Amino acid sequence: MTVRTGVYPGTFDPITLGHMDIISRAAKLVDRLVIGVTTNPSKNPMFSVEERMAMVKREVDAIGGEIHVVSFNSLLMDFAEREGASMIVRGLRAVADFEYEYQMAGMNQQLNDTIETVFLMADVSLQPIASRLVKEIALFGGDIGKFVTPSVRDEMVARVAQMGRKGD
C-alpha cells in the first residue's frame, strides 16, 4: 500500500488559526502530512526556526493522524521529493493569494510534474488572518486572541515585551 504524503510549507511566524484550519483539513486528505517550516528572509521573522517548529508541533499535537514538523531551507520541490510527497498543500485566503500561488504551482510543476499542488480555502471566518498582520497588531499592543491560540498569543506577548513595543 502506498502512503499518500502531503507537504504543507510555510514560515508559520506565528502559526495562526488559519494555518490550523488548513492543517486539520489537509491531515484528512493524506496518510502522512509533513509541515515544512522554512525561513523567508523578506518576512523578517519574529521567532527562530527552532521556536516556530516547537510552536507548530505543540499546536498540531491535538489534531491526530501522522503529522510531522520538519524544517527546510531548499527549493520546495526538492524538500517535497525528499519527503516522498505526492502533493503540496497550499492555503488560500483571497484573490491576491491565488495569483501568487497559481504562479508558484506552475513553476513547481515545471520542476516536478509528479507532485500535485492542492489548494484549500481557509474557512471564511479565518480568511483575513495573515501572520504578518498578527505580528503587526502584537507589536503595537493589540489583542491577537482572535487570530491565534492562547499559547501562541502568550508567546507573542512575551516576545513583544522582550523586544520592546514599537511606536513608544
Active site residues: 19, 43, 93, 131
Beta-carbon count within 10 A of 2 CB:
7
- With contact defined as beta carbons under 8 Å apart, do 26 and 8 qualify? yes
CA distance 52 to 39: 10
89: enclosing H helix or E strand: strand 87-92
- With contact defined as beta carbons under 8 Å apart, do 20 and 151 qualify? no
Residue 134 C-alpha cell reads as: 498578527
CA distance 101 to 79: 17
